[in-house]
Amino acid sequence: MKRKALLLISLATIAFNNSIIIVNADTTNHSDEKRAEKFFKKIKNFNQKINQDILDKTVAANRTLKNKYQSTNEETLNLNRYWTTFIKKINYLKNDQLEIYVTADFKKLSQSKRSQIIEFTQQLALSQLDTFKAVSDLAYGESLAVTIFCDGNYLGRSLFMNNKEFRWKS
């Protein structure tokens, strides 16, 4: 009797260890996918809107420069008016960061003027972002993290704990 019981336990253990367990692999949550698609569509629309705003401001600044027959040095002397002429494109990323693409002339500016232009860009992005999602007063004070590119190459970024100070590539 003991022998039969031991044999049955051994067979049951072998059968259990060798059995194939089939698990349904479809664990996707379709509502999460739809929510993600909706969110990325909103980000795409936001990026189009902010880049159109930059383009409109740049066209207006260039028109002003041409109408006054002023030299291109006027751009660097009056950054409050012509700062958008140094910005090609802005990309808002889902983790509240910005990628800013600048012109080659941007590299000729001093670091303080570069910083000033990037701060203007951060503030523009924050003001536009307020229509996309609520932005706290703290976010306005701290601003958004930024990575800057010129002609497809990394040019600089904001510091880790202070988004209003920048580290430039040497």
60-98 pLDDT, tens digit per residue, is: 888 877 766 555 565 556 777 789 999 999 999 888 899
Closest CA to 117 of 71, 154, 152, 166: 166
Domain that holds residue 46: 34-71+80-168
Q: Is residue 100 part of a domain?
A: yes
118 burial (CB, 10 Å; 0-12 / 13-18 / 19+) is buried
Is 13 within the bounds of a domain? no
6-10, 72-76, 77-81, 117-121: least confidently modelled range: 72-76
**For residue 22, pLDDT beyond 60:** no
Residue 26 domain flag: no
Count: domains in the chain: 1
109's CB contacts (< 8 A; 6+ apart) are 76, 86, 117
Q: Is residue 99 part of a domain?
A: yes
CA atoms 118, 157, 101, 86: torsion sign: positive
Task: Supply the pLDDT for residue 74.
Answer: 58
- Model pTM? 0.73
